[in-house]
């Protein structure tokens, strides 16, 4: 029985999923936590990712009752910066996507190239603090001694692939989130990196970009796929089809769809990424999603089930929560905080819970509206991610979308998508062959609740 592994190395943890190659049946899982981070400074030691991967893999192998696998791929949090010296040791802790210390550097880089439209034309996206290129600019400016020792620059998934294979490699999907690789050209834009350091040989600093079915090497006899970013892996894991959109509700929120052509949005709302299969993945990302719901739930002192009951018991028309708790990426407000509007002395626990759900949902649906301006969406909306399991979150979003909303069956979409890639590379077949064989893309339709005019009231607060 051939077995493939998919890895999800997220902000919070590493998860491993082992599946039978032929049927896709899950035979083993494992997980291990990463160090807790709190923006604006969000850093982790990359060694912690590797240690968590080893722990999670050991647990998955034990559950499956096997001691080896046939193929593996890694999906990991996008955008982060791992700067290594000549001995492959980090010169600084890994900067994560939600670290906002490089906000000023992002503004400077956008201005130096001639504005947002110039960046959208160059790489399909307008850099904000999340993007790797801004973090490199921050490191060069803030820590010149560390910068002088940099020999290689990797993304989180690249680092884990390097630990598995010894190779410095990435894929087009994750590379498209750096701010210095162009999806439309399929190539690095070294001229953009020269805005940071014109003396460096960038061709020797960045990793090779592998194709969708290329192997990066092997690990303990298993074929290692190129890996990809978490959103690109999740798109494969849910079997995302043209016309569908995915709303992923984890620590951050993302809204994305597959497209046959590259996109470029000079407003910066939609990032014009590539996907992991040879297509494109226009995407909107919000920094605040599940953690907003969790924070309010904690303040109310209730468990998940009681929080859902409270939120669904509230009638529309209560307070409006602007959920920019730890700065926001879309819209680009890195220094913002959350705001609660329309609160009165008769406010109830139910209204407070519903305001949290409404605020997160409105932010995500703003992203959905922006996405519809750049690609054709007429199919389903697929919900994935930890907070998508919340009955209140599901039903409020379904009430706002105006289209069929489905809770995707994929419990761990990123790990599943990475396993799809591993299987496709092992068999050298298109990813859709694996998705169809494994029955990916199914889900449960959700009935929405009445949301009243909350989106209009939310927009009024957002645009004040």
Residues forming the active site: 230
Residue 313's H or E segment, with its range, is helix 304-313
Q: In angstroms, rounded to a whole number, what is the distance separating the alpha carbons of residues 322 and 428?
A: 47
Phi, psi of 366 (to 5 degrees): -60, -40
Q: In angstroms, rounded to a whole number, what is the distance separating the alpha carbons of residues 162 and 425?
A: 17
Radius of gyration for the alpha carbons in the chain, expressed in angstroms and rounded: 21
| DSSP of 216-271 | EEEETTEEEE--EEHHHHHHHHTT--TT-EEEEESSSEEEE--BSS----TTSSSE
Structure tokens at 22: 């032929």
- Cα–Cα–Cα angle for 165, 167, 170, rounded to 5 degrees: 105
* Lookup result for tokens 């890994």: 94
DSSP 3-state of 408: strand
Q: In angstroms, rounded to a whole number, what is the distance separating the alpha carbons of residues 169 and 218?
A: 13
Distance between the two ends of the chain, CA-based, in angstroms? 60
Give 430's strand partners. none
């Amino acid at each position: 029985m051939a077995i493939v592994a998919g890895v999800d190395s997220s902000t919070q943890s590493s998860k491993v999923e082992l599946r039978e190659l032929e049927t896709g049946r899950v035979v083993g899982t494992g997980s291990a936590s990463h160090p807790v981070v709190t923006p604006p400074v969000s850093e982790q030691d990359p060694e912690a990712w590797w240690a968590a991967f080893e722990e999670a893999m050991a647990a998955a192998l034990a559950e499956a009752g096997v001691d080896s696998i046939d193929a593996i791929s890694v999906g990991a949090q996008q955008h982060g910066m791992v700067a290594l010296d000549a001995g492959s040791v980090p010169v600084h802790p890994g900067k994560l996507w939600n670290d906002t210390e490089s906000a000023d550097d992002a503004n400077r880089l956008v201005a130096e190239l001639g504005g947002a439209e110039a960046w959208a034309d160059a790489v399909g996206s307008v850099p904000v603090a999340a993007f790797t290129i801004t973090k490199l600019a921050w490191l060069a400016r803030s820590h010149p001694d560390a910068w002088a020792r940099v020999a290689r620059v990797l993304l989180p998934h690249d680092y884990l692939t390097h630990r598995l294979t010894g190779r410095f490699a990435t894929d087009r999907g994750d590379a498209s989130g750096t701010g210095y690789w162009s999806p439309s050209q399929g190539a690095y834009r070294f001229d953009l990196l020269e805005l940071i350091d014109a003396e460096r040989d960038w061709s020797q600093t960045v990793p090779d970009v592998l194709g969708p079915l290329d192997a990066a090497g092997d690990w303990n006899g298993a074929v290692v796929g190129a890996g990809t970013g978490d959103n690109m892996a999740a798109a494969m894991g849910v079997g995302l089809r043209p016309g569908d959109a995915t709303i992923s509700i984890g620590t951050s929120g993302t809204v994305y769809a597959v497209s046959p052509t590259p996109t470029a949005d000079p407003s910066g709302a939609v990032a014009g990424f590539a996907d992991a299969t040879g297509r494109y993945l226009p995407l909107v990302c919000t920094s605040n999603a599940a953690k907003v719901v969790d924070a309010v739930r904690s303040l109310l002192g209730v468990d998940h089930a009681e929080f859902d009951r409270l939120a669904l018991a509230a009638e529309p028309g209560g307070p409006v929560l602007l959920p920019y708790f730890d700065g926001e990426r879309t819209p680009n407000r890195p220094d913002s905080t959350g705001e609660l509007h329309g609160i009165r002395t008769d406010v109830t626990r139910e209204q407070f819970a519903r305001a949290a759900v409404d605020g997160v949902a409105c932010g995500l649906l703003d992203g959905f509206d922006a996405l519809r301006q750049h690609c054709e969406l007429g199919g389903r909306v697929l919900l994935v991610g930890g907070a998508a399991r919340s009955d209140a979150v599901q039903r409020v979003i379904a009430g706002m979308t105006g289209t069929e909303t489905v809770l995707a069956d994929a419990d761990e979409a990123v790990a599943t998508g990475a396993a799809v890639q591993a299987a496709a590379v092992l068999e050298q077949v298109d990813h859709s062959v694996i998705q169809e064989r494994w029955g990916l893309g199914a889900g449960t339709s959700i009935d929405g609740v009445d949301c009243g005019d909350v989106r209009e009231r939310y927009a009024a607060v957002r645009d004040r």
